[in-house]
């Protein structure tokens, strides 16, 4: 039997080492506990106090009411009505799929909509309400109320939704609101906008979004440990959106829209003294109320595939050659530069040729108009007179003279979507075509063809200046104090009067091109024009547009102001593929002017 000798020294050393190690571990543990205690009680005290407070206090957003929109006479155009929407808080739903299937039977959700909800849930916090369906019908609200006990986590709640009273007639002018997109939300102040807000998408709703939207308020709710509401108060009241009062006269707007009948195009009516737009129509329009809660794919496809392009705002974005409507401005430029006077005449044989060139520039009237002066040339729209005058002016002087009239430029109107046109010049052609300017291009510029492109809103601004004899009143849609200025050129009164007389003779002279809209009650001054859709060859130059298919006919233009002897109203009309300004566009202008005169000159 073997005995092991005791080693007291080694045993004590081993015991001591183990004791030290255990002590160190205990000290480290206590140090960790103390540091954690310090962190929780001192460093994180405020954070946990806030969390505890949040468990007791709930802060809710109070949405502001979107501003209303009225016409100039106080007629309501855009309002907010009460609707109901269905929301869901995912963490409160015991069985998500079962809940979605049951709710889909109550509020009519198809599989595509259900799949969309599932996708949105991936990016929505489980504690945050998610909108399942908006604008519930009365029947859906009632059915949900009956079945609510089976649908934990789902709620039906009232909210305000936009409604347009004249959705089609004002579709392009007013625009519409829709759910804010992610890109739009990212660019907004998060203290003002939430991910479920509505946002102006087009027109006035977009341009004046910040004013119309308002500022949200805050509701404070105190709850106890059982989650029961103890008290509630408004910590910060919401600031509702600003109401807008427009310059539009809804009666004149409706008259202008109806005047087009089956035609498509644009019409703008302006108060000459202030620049206030009384009517601005783009035909055809569309139902803006369809877009508020989301238009169906079927309805959207019908709009986007329509050959009439109802979503296209012709008044602000439609680009057209001005055609013969530019002739009054060319005449005024010739008078201003002393290249012609009221009594100068020329003999029109129906064609014009530049020196040492074979190309012929044709008049609309075969054989020409004979001996004409500037007033005759405006009344009868004599191309040859303006070919020659434009050539003598030169493109540089034409460009500089027309620029202050805002032709081919942004007018700065107070709405969204305006497009820039083209006021041709040497520098423009070099920059955009990398080519030099040719004399023949100056010739056709004199009758509003070639590179010239303007929008109806630009035509309206230019006409307002022309009718006001150089008084510049910026066009606007929201009522404001106009800032009036004058053209930078010092144009003689007799030159303004000569051009006005020529435009008056368009309607009232026996040989005028617009005699069909002459009025026995008041004088109208005007000018017709055609905007080329495609170029005609030498053989077809005198072929009537009515013989062509509709889509190949020229656009018909007409500008007018009335009364001619004391101008109040300026009207611009573009009838797309209308062929003739006097036959298609002028009657529309006459109906608009009649509607205005009946109301203001009884």
Tell me how far CA of residue 194 lies from CA of 170, 187, 190, 191, in angstroms. 28, 12, 6, 8
Partner residues linked to 269 by β-bridges:
279, 571
**What's the per-residue H, E or C state across 572-602?**
EEEECCCCCHHHHHHHHHHHHHHHHHHHHCC
* Separation CA 589–CA 570 (nearest Å): 10
* Separation CA 468–CA 271 (nearest Å): 10
The three-class DSSP label of residue 446 is coil
**Strands 76-88 and 154-164, sheet pairing:** antiparallel
DSSP state of 83: E
DSSP 368-410: --EEEEHHHHHHHT-HHHHHHHHHHHHHHHHHHHHGGGTTTS-
* Separation CA 211–CA 206 (nearest Å): 10
* Separation CA 332–CA 497 (nearest Å): 10
User: Which among 156, 171, 315, 324 is annotated as catalytic?
Assistant: 324
Catalytic (active site) residue 324: yes
Give every CB contact of residue 549 below 8 A, 6+ residues apart in sequence: none
The three-class DSSP label of residue 164 is strand
Tokens at 137, concatenated: 């019908």
Partner residues linked to 61 by β-bridges:
218
Selection from 58, 48, 40, 195 nearest residue 129 by Cα: 195
Selection from 544, 503, 549 nearest residue 526 by Cα: 503
Q: Per DSSP, which regions of 359-508 are E strands?
A: 361-362, 370-373, 471-472, 485-486
* Separation CA 223–CA 162 (nearest Å): 34
Give every CB contact of residue 371 below 8 A, 6+ residues apart in sequence: 345, 346, 347, 348
Tell me how far CA of residue 160 lies from CA of 64, 198, 238, 293, in angstroms. 10, 10, 14, 12
* Separation CA 338–CA 332 (nearest Å): 10
- Residues marked active site are found at 324
């Amino acid at each position: 039997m073997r005995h092991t000798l005791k080693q007291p020294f080694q045993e004590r050393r081993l015991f001591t080492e183990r004791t030290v190690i255990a002590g160190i571990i205990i000290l480290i543990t206590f140090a960790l506990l103390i540091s954690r205690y310090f962190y929780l009680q001192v460093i994180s005290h405020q954070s946990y106090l806030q969390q505890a407070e949040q468990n007791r206090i709930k802060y809710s957003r109070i949405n502001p009411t979107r501003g209303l929109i009225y016409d100039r006479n106080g007629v309501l155009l855009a309002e907010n009505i009460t609707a109901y929407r269905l929301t869901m808080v995912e963490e409160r739903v015991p069985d998500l799929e079962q809940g979605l299937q049951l709710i889909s039977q109550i509020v009519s959700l198809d599989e595509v909509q259900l799949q969309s909800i599932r996708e949105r849930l991936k990016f929505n916090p489980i504690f945050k309400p998610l909108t399942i369906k908006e604008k519930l019908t009365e029947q859906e609200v009632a059915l949900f109320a009956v079945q609510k006990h089976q649908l934990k986590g789902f709620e039906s709640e009232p909210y305000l939704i936009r409604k347009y009273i004249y959705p089609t007639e004002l579709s392009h002018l007013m625009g519409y609101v829709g759910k804010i997109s992610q890109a739009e939300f990212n660019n907004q102040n998060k203290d003002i906008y939430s991910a479920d807000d509505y946002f102006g998408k087009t027109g006035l709703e977009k341009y004046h979004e910040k004013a119309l939207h308002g500022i949200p308020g805050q509701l404070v709710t105190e709850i106890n440990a059982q989650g029961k509401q103890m008290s509630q108060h408004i910590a910060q009241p919401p600031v509702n959106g600003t109401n807008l009062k427009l310059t539009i006269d809804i009666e004149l707007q409706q008259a202008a829209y109806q005047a087009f009948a089956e035609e498509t195009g644009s019409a703008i009516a302006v108060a000459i003294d202030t620049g206030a737009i009384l009517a601005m129509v783009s035909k055809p329009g569309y139902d803006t109320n369809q877009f508020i809660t989301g238009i169906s794919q079927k309805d959207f496809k019908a709009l986007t595939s329509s050959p009439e392009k109802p979503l296209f705002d012709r008044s602000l974005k439609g680009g057209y050659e001005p055609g013969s409507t530019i002739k009054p401005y060319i005449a005024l430029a010739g008078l201003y530069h002393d290249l012609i006077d009221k009594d100068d005449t020329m003999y029109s044989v129906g064609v014009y040729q530049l020196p040492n060139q074979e190309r012929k520039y044709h008049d609309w009237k075969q054989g020409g108009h004979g001996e004409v002066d500037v007033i005759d040339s405006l009344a009868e729209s004599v191309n040859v007179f303006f070919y020659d005058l434009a050539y003598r002016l030169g493109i540089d002087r034409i460009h500089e003279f027309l620029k202050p009239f805002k032709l081919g430029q942004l007018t700065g109107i107070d709405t969204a979507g305006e497009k820039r046109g083209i006021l041709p010049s040497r520098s423009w052609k070099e920059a955009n075509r990398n080519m030099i300017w040719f004399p023949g291009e100056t010739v056709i510029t004199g009758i509003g063809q070639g590179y010239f492109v303007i929008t109806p809103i630009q035509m309206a601004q230019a006409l307002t200046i022309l009718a006001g004899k150089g008084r510049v009143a910026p066009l606007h849609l929201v009522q404001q104090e106009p800032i009036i200025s004058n053209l930078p050129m010092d144009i003689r009164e007799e030159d303004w009067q000569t051009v006005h007389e020529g435009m008056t003779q368009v309607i009232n002279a026996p040989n005028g091109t617009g005699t069909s809209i002459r009025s026995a009650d008041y004088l109208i001054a005007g000018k017709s024009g055609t905007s080329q859709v495609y170029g005609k060859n030498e053989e077809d130059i005198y072929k009537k547009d009515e013989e062509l298919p509709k889509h190949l006919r020229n656009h018909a233009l007409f500008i007018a102001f009335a009364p001619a002897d004391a101008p109040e109203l300026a009207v611009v009309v573009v009838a797309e593929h209308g062929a003739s300004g006097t036959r298609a566009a002028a009657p529309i202008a006459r109906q608009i002017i009649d509607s205005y005169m009946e109301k203001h000159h009884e």
